Structure 1
Amino acid sequence: MSFNMYIPTRTLFGAGQLNNLKDQVMPGKKAMIVISNGKSTRENGYLARVEEQLKIAGVETAVFDKVEPNPLKSTVMAGAAFSKENHCDFIVALGGGSCMDASKAIAIMATNPGDLWDYVQSGTGKRKVIENKPLPIVAVTTTAGTGSETDMGAVVTNEETQEKLAIKTPELFPVLAIVDPELMKSVPPKFTAFQGWDALSHSMEGYINNKSNLMSDMYAITAIENVSRYLARAVKDGNDIEARERVAFGNNLSGIVMCVGAISSQHSLEHAMSAYHQDLPHGAGLIMLSKAYFTHFIEKHVCDERFIRMAKAMGMEDAKEPMDFITMLTKLQEECGVADLKMSDYGIKPEEFETLARNAKDTNSGLFLVDRCELSIEDCIAIYKSSYK
């Protein structure tokens, strides 16, 4: 029943909300706008619109356009140097989860000495305390996947140690988030599915782990209902604004689930995969793992009623068995056109499974602690094997 809830971000949600950015109180006078190293933010006009909104608000800007999918520590350090060189006093994260995660990490290193890994609290991180307050962050999300506009965490890959780890502090909550589904209409179908599955996974994991509580349950079930019932529509027609809004809403709630509850070891297993395979989209990895991962816990009968409740939330009103949830999971993957994703297409090989399992357990051990039953190295390897195509 107990929960601890602190989410200080002001969120403007809904179609057209980007137009209201100019009217908000800004946390500084010069913004570092962080975007991806791709073309879409510029080509779709999102960067120009944000720059214009900030100009009207009296804010100068400098653009950092180096962020890759699964952002790297080296990119974060380059971004921090850019921020200092341009005398920026806050950051505008414009893009998807990678841009927001990179922005949060840059915000730390723009005001603190040393290396980002000095402040990471797991794996090979040096577990130092963040000395100086990070730069304030305004998040303008163009995707619906990570919920990073809502939470206080940043996930970054250290390419030197092949660790993909989170760094968390309440000071990383964005001061303002703009969640405008109109900015998501340009996301291609495949990536709409990948991102939506990440949002769904946050709430599915949050609902079945041992940190679930009255508050996280409320957010998680509502998120599952909205994402699972509207994601296929958004995949099939990117201009379906109702579907985009519903998935974005579910994503926003899934971010809150991570603040008031927790995600579980499925994320550890995927982080190991994309730590070694930089080109693997996080959501794609979660899709590959999902059926085997959740089936493992169903077979352990750790929370049968919760799997039944999730199946009902996904649209099977007469669900009676925990495996009905896997039926609905499979149906959604098929409707989104992602049921046949293959690990082998991203260069993942069976002989890596023990290495991945040990990486997951060693670097992200905390997420395994919230599972309702312990996953051994052998269990992790079995899940990878069952998921392999």
Structure 2
Amino acid sequence: MTELSGNWGYPTNIWAGPGRIHELPEACRQLGISRPLLITDAGLKDAPIVQETLAIAEGEGLHTTLFAEVKGNPVGANVDAGVTAYREGGHDGIIAFGGGSGLDAAKAVALMVGQTRPIWDFEDVGDNWKRANAEAIAPVVAVPTTAGTGSEVGRASVITNEATHEKKIIFHPRMLPGIVIEDPGLTIGLPAKVTAATGLDAFVHCFEAYCAPGFHPLADGFAIEGMRIIKEFLPRAYENGEDIEARANMLAAASMGAAAFQKGLGAVHAIAHPVGALYDTHHGLTNAIILPYVMQHNRPVIAERMDLVARVLDLPKGGFDGVLDWVLEFREAMNIPNSLAEIGVDAERSADIGRMAIEDPSAGGNPQQLTAETLEHIFLSAQSGTLREAV
């Protein structure tokens, strides 16, 4: 087994390796935090890893409070409640703990504790982020417990506006956590189903970033290597949740995917965001289902790029067909449904999803120009499971 520990400085300070959660108090001290608010999602509230983490913090004299009023798809009200808890508790920093929902909510709270404008004023459009009082953003230590979203190394949060049923990307450069602790031991208890969905979310991040147009060799390098790591280690983590080497590599790949998609995402995320907002689906699973339908649609403009992907992944068949066949087999091996209908998504709001998807910032990174009608068509193909019609 290769060495699994290391300190990395890109895109932020990352402390990776088994057992490193015990360095949480030192991470807080380095960021000037003495009274952290630990924010996670409701599903982890009573989990042993949360209670053990609180004990580690308290044992080193950090007066830590738990806030877990966060939905699986966090909403603005969750952020508001977190801001209230932060202020009333006299906290001076945040421990963002959990999967993408907990991390996104925590980073949004960190942004909002010092602002007077509503959160929607900081949507990732133009230079909205300049409206924020940057000096008032709280410091964050991020502790991911799933290997998927890569939110621990991101400068944005996806928050649902319940009034409009739209997912909004809230952005500020200082939302990037100051220190990330990637302890694979915290992911050991992740069920196989969640391991697969979150792992494929990381793969979609890498794949869409690689396919996004523009010159960004750094992002492409992260994306290609991230895909290779996921191909090798996700099946191992899925089959044996206690495989610490697989878990460590998947945490790294998730962070690599998020670093890569600074280049851009695409139609998978543009569709998945409104589907998640309207049907409350799991984000990673939604991405995993939609991916091949977007690949099929984008084929004319990404086919040439698939030659390298096929070589790096060491696939038995090269080119676009080889990559698409492998993606379909990879999903099937981990029991990912083939259609959105299988996870309770109907076709009744297809026009709404097309309209919302074209307005999503992710749509701008798609390698082929999109329209609301095109996105609606792709959604309907993914909803019904008819891959050949996704062109």
Task: Tell me, yes or no, whether TM beats 0.5.
Answer: yes
Which residue pairs with 1:329 in the alignment? 327
Which residue pairs with 1:310 in the alignment? 309
Contact 1:277 1:346 in 2 (8 A): no
Matched, 1:182 2:185: yes
TM-aligned CA deviation for residue 381 of structure 1: 1.9
Contact 2:147 2:202 in 1 (8 A): yes
What amino acid maps onto 1:229 in structure 2?
Answer: E
Which residue pairs with 2:270 in the alignment? 268
Which residue pairs with 1:343 in the alignment? 340
Per-residue CA deviation, residues 17-64 of structure 1 (Å, 9 max, x unaligned), is 1122233324321100102112x4533x22232223323443211110
TM-aligned CA deviation for residue 95 of structure 1: 0.7
Report the CA distance shift for 1:143/1:160 in structure 2 as closer, same or farther (over 3 A).
same
What amino acid maps onto 2:271 in structure 1?
Answer: L
Contact 2:265 2:363 in 1 (8 A): no
SS at match of 2:69: strand
Q: 1:357 aligns with which of 354, 359, 368?
A: 354
Report the CA distance shift for 1:225/1:103 in structure 2 as closer, same or farther (over 3 A).
same
Matched, 1:153 2:156: yes
SS at match of 1:66: coil
Contact 1:314 1:328 in 2 (8 A): no
Contact 2:129 2:172 in 1 (8 A): no
Which residue pairs with 2:294 in the alignment? 293
Contact 1:7 1:173 in 2 (8 A): no
TM-aligned CA deviation for residue 346 of structure 1: 3.8
Contact 2:265 2:366 in 1 (8 A): no
SS at match of 1:71: coil
Give the Cα–Cα distance (whole angstroms) in 2 for the partners of residues 15 and 208 of structure 1. Answer: 33
Give the Cα–Cα distance (whole angstroms) in 1 for the partners of residues 189 and 129 of structure 2. Answer: 39
Report the CA distance shift for 1:254/1:121 in structure 2 as closer, same or farther (over 3 A).
closer
Q: RMSD between aligned alpha carbons?
A: 2.0
Per-residue CA deviation, residues 151-210 of structure 1 (Å, 9 max, x unaligned), is 111111111111101111110010110111111011111111111111111110000111
Matched, 1:220 2:219: no
Matched, 1:381 2:372: no
SS at match of 1:187: coil
Which residue pairs with 1:108 in the alignment? 111
Per-residue CA deviation, residues 326-383 of structure 1 (Å, 9 max, x unaligned), is 0110111011111x35422443222311110101112x1x322222221222221221
Contact 1:34 1:103 in 2 (8 A): yes
Which residue pairs with 1:82 in the alignment? 85
Give the Cα–Cα distance (whole angstroms) in 1 for the partners of residues 269 and 226 of structure 2. Answer: 18
TM-aligned CA deviation for residue 128 of structure 1: 7.1
SS at match of 2:68: strand
Give the Cα–Cα distance (whole angstroms) in 2 for the partners of residues 230 and 315 of structure 1. Answer: 14
Question: In the TM superposition, what are the counterparts of 1:50-65 in structure 2 within 5 Å?
Answer: 50-65=53-68
SS at match of 2:160: strand
Give the Cα–Cα distance (whole angstroms) in 1 for the partners of residues 125 and 161 of structure 2. Answer: 12
* Most deviating of 139-148 and 250-259: 250-259
What amino acid maps onto 1:42 in structure 2?
Answer: D
Which residue pairs with 1:37 in the alignment? 42
Gaps of 5+ in 1: 1-5
Which residue pairs with 2:6 in the alignment? none
Give the Cα–Cα distance (whole angstroms) in 1 for the partners of residues 221 and 245 of structure 2. Answer: 22
Which residue pairs with 1:172 in the alignment? 175
Report the CA distance shift for 1:126/1:224 in structure 2 as closer, same or farther (over 3 A).
closer
SS at match of 1:276: helix
Which residue pairs with 1:71 in the alignment? 74
Give the Cα–Cα distance (whole angstroms) in 2 for the partners of residues 212 and 307 of structure 1. Answer: 17
What amino acid maps onto 1:234 in structure 2?
Answer: A
Gaps of 5+ in 2: 1-8, 385-391
Give the Cα–Cα distance (whole angstroms) in 2 for the partners of residues 264 and 214 of structure 1. Answer: 18
Which residue pairs with 1:3 in the alignment? none
Contact 1:35 1:67 in 2 (8 A): yes
Report the CA distance shift for 1:54/1:127 in structure 2 as closer, same or farther (over 3 A).
closer
Contact 1:104 1:172 in 2 (8 A): yes
Contact 1:32 1:61 in 2 (8 A): yes
Contact 2:94 2:110 in 1 (8 A): yes
Task: State the identity as a percent.
Answer: 27
Which residue pairs with 2:389 in the alignment? none
Give the Cα–Cα distance (whole angstroms) in 2 for the partners of residues 295 and 34 of structure 1. Answer: 39
TM-aligned CA deviation for residue 237 of structure 1: 1.4
Contact 2:191 2:241 in 1 (8 A): yes
Give the Cα–Cα distance (whole angstroms) in 1 for the partners of residues 102 and 278 of structure 2. Answer: 20
